[in-house]
Structure 1
Amino acid sequence: MDAAVGAARDLGLTVTDARVLHDLFSVVVHLAPSPVVARVPTVLPAHTDLDVLADRQRAELDVTRWLADQGTPVIPPSPLVPPEPVRRDGFSMTFWQFVEEDRSKEPDYAANSEITADLHAAMRAYPGPLSFLSAADPQFVTDSLDLLGDSPDLLAPADLDRARREWQVLEPLVRSRTAFEKAFPGVDLQPVHGDSPPANVFAGVDGARYADFELVTLGPVEWDLAALGPDLEAAYNRGARRNGMRPLNEDVLRFVNAVGMLRAITSLTLVPQFPALLEYLSPAVDQWRTTPFAGGVAG
């Protein structure tokens, strides 16, 4: 919070009543009375240094600014400061327009899943470069599987053995666009949100807005529906039909669900930074044990 306030003042913003809006993987600070919000990532994989983080943040800023210019309802970068990540006190942060939240609204994940198809339709024309499935962060998965070998208290050896064997099947399809397209012929790739947009629709007093594009990537639309289940998949397909887009591909869903489960399991390595994460991840590990090996994706 101190870093965000100091950086904002250096940028010429008046900040006298800053308050934390959110504190989970990032600290989100309203720099009141300025209509600006700083987002400061704080829980990061070991390989994500400030240069890597800043590159990711630049992509997020560029995509959201472009979407806002097209009239897509997003939380846009703040127009009061340059649209660039700012470093201060060992953090890299971004600055966003403050939007008043409608706290009376309960999340409607079915509606959010349906309008995710609207977001995908809008993102198809984004002209900027994006890396293939960077949101999967394969280096994090690989590194974490190594680290978990020294942490049997976080993941049992038998579970770790299965996770490593699954990653041998899935990793080539995550790292290589060519391998993915060979495995899933005819499945188109496009810019996607990268981080479960149905869970990242912000209820503003002026209506719903798409938010948190930190993991924006090039990939199949299925990536944004990973692990949400058949009811929300059906809601997305309604939106896809309305936009003249294809329905979700069942084979690709199995793939992204399997990768998503491995990402959840390997996120156990972040527990020392964020102990409360364990209670969220333990049910995911239990669920993973009941699923087909590598989601049924053939090696």
Structure 2
Amino acid sequence: MTPEELAARTRRAVEAAVRAGRDLGLNVDHGAVLHDVFSVVVHLRPEPVVARIPVVLTGSTQPDRQTARQQRELDVVAWLDTQGIPVVRPSPLVPRVPVRRDGFSMTFWELADVADDHQPYQGVEMSYSAELHQALAGYPGKLPFLAPFNDGLPDLLARLQTVDVLTPTEIDRARSDFDKLQQLLADRAAFESAFPGIPVQPLQGDGPSHNVIRTTSGIRFADFEDVTSGPVEWDLALLGPDAVAEYDHAAHERGLRRTDPTVRRLMDHARRLQFVGCLTLVPQLPVLADGLAEVLADWRSTPAFE
């Protein structure tokens, strides 16, 4: 997409959010963009409400599955809030459901009092992830198993022939890796059969140590779009040995298990493959090309999954 097309997409998303907010009874004067990457995040001024509108989807593009994904996020975050976990909460000023308007599906959140030192995707100590996992383990709702791997990635991999930075041999390798990984990760039963001693639990699903907002009242977890169930190793995939050691120490202090090296390697393979699939999204989000270059080089230098 050209810069003009990207700007037009953002503008349409903002307009849809403003109209949706007004339909819900909010007194919206205009929308101010706070963030614009995979989702357009819009402050519906002057209300203390933020709309998040996904525009580049890593999950299924089917409307019913996208809505179900967003509802899971709203439900889990609302529950975490009742448990005293610091999260950016769903807005109490509108119903806690996704809203579809003008071709966009969106959710509504409280406006966070962002601190001056906040930077998007800046990580925090791994003790926060251990704390979050400890809380999520008690979530009573049903969640799909490894949704980031099983929902959406097959569609992305099916379009790999559109990616000009991959050779036919690499495309074949990616699809072969997925088939082999799916034998272990297609569902909870397959994983537990292969790793009977590794518990499965609710997870944030997308690197919780980096999906936080620094507010004037402290760290708050955000962006649970990929909330899922699986081994905790998924939330630590590709973070490196120092981060893993820090997590293991924090987990042990809380009476939780340390991570398993074999499962970590498995999750690293699956996560790399997810990023390879995201190469198909570059036309929709050109900035991804630079961000994925390092991961692509890492995947190329890593032996195929066996």
TM-score bracket for the superposition, by shorter chain length: over 0.9
Match of 1:55 among 68, 73, 76: 68
Equivalent residue in structure 1 for 2:263, among 247, 252, 261: 252
Alignment partner, residue 76 of structure 1: 89
In structure 1, list runs of 5 or more residues that go unmatched. Answer: none
Given residue 240 of structure 2, which amino acid in structure 1 is its aligned partner? G
Name 2:295's counterpart in structure 1: 284
1:147 maps to 159
Indicate the residue corresponding to 1:91 in structure 2. Answer: 104
For 2:219 and 2:117, how far apart are their aligned partners in 1?
13
Is 1:5 the equivalent of 2:18? yes
Seen in structure 2, the aligned counterparts of structure 1 residues 266 and 52 have a Cα distance that, compared at 3 Å, is same
Give the one of 191, 197, 203 matched to 1:192.
Answer: 203
Alpha-carbon deviation of 1:277? 1.1
Cα distance change, pair 46–67 in 1 and its aligned pair in 2 (3 A): closer
**Structure 1 residue 168 displacement after superposition:** 2.1
Partners of 2:123 and 2:132 lie apart in 1 by 15
Q: CA RMSD in A?
A: 1.6
Bigger shift: residues 208-217 or 46-55: 46-55
User: Structure 1, residues 127-176: CA drift from partner, whole Å, max 9, x if none?
Assistant: 0111111121x353333333223x35131122112212211210122212
Q: 1:64 and 2:77 equivalent?
A: yes
**Match of 2:85, as an amino acid?**
T
Q: Distance in 2 between matches of 1:78 and 1:286?
A: 41
In the other structure, the counterpart of 1:102 is 115
Give the SS at the match of 1:161: helix
Residue equivalent to 1:179 = 190
- Which amino acid is the alignment partner of residue 152 of structure 2? F
Matched residue, 1:31: 44
> Aligned AA for 2:258?
P
Please tell me whether the aligned partners of residues 59 and 153 of structure 2 are also in contact (alpha carbons under 8 angstroms).
Answer: no
Q: Which moved more, 1:14-23 or 1:252-261?
A: 14-23
3-state SS of 1:279 partner:
helix
Which residue of the partner structure matches residue 115 of structure 1?
128
2:161 is equivalent to residue 127 of structure 1: no
CA distance in 1, matches of 2:89, 2:270: 30
C-alpha separation between the residues in 2 aligned to 1:86 and 1:219?
28
| Counterpart in the other structure of 2:248 | 237
CA contact (8 A) 2:160 2:280 kept: yes
**Do the aligned partners of 1:227 and 1:257 also contact (CA within 8 Å) in 2?**
yes
**2:146 and 2:216 mapped to 1: Cα distance?**
33
Residue 290 of structure 1, CA deviation:
1.4
Letter in 1 for 2:281: L
Amino acid at match of 2:123: Y
Matched letter for residue 204 of structure 1: T
Candidates 198, 220, 234, aligned match of 2:231: 220
Runs of 4+ in 1 over 2 A off after TM superposition: 105-110, 138-146
Residue 46 of structure 1: how far off its partner (Å): 8.4
Query: What fraction of aligned residue pairs are identical, expressed as a percent?
Result: 48
Cα distance in 2, alignment partners of residues 109 and 41 from structure 1: 22
Kindly indicate whether the alpha-carbon contact (under 8 Å) linking 1:38 and 1:93 is maintained by their aligned counterparts in 2: yes
In 2: Cα distance, 1:202 partner to 1:189 partner: 27
Q: TM-score, normalised by structure 2?
A: 0.91
Once residues 203 and 89 of structure 1 are traced to their aligned partners in structure 2, the CA distance between those partners, rounded to angstroms, is: 32
What are the Cα deviations for residues 167-194 of structure 1, in whole angstroms up to 9, with x where unaligned? 1210122212121112112100000000
1:205 to 216, 233, 244: 216
Q: CA deviation at 1:216?
A: 0.5
Q: Distance in 2 between matches of 1:46 and 1:235?
A: 30
Partner of 2:277: 266
| Secondary structure, counterpart of 1:18 in structure 2 | strand
Give the 3 Å change call, closer, same or farther, for CA 143–240 of structure 1 in structure 2.
same
Task: Work out the CA distance in 2 between the residues paired with 1:275 and 1:217.
Answer: 27
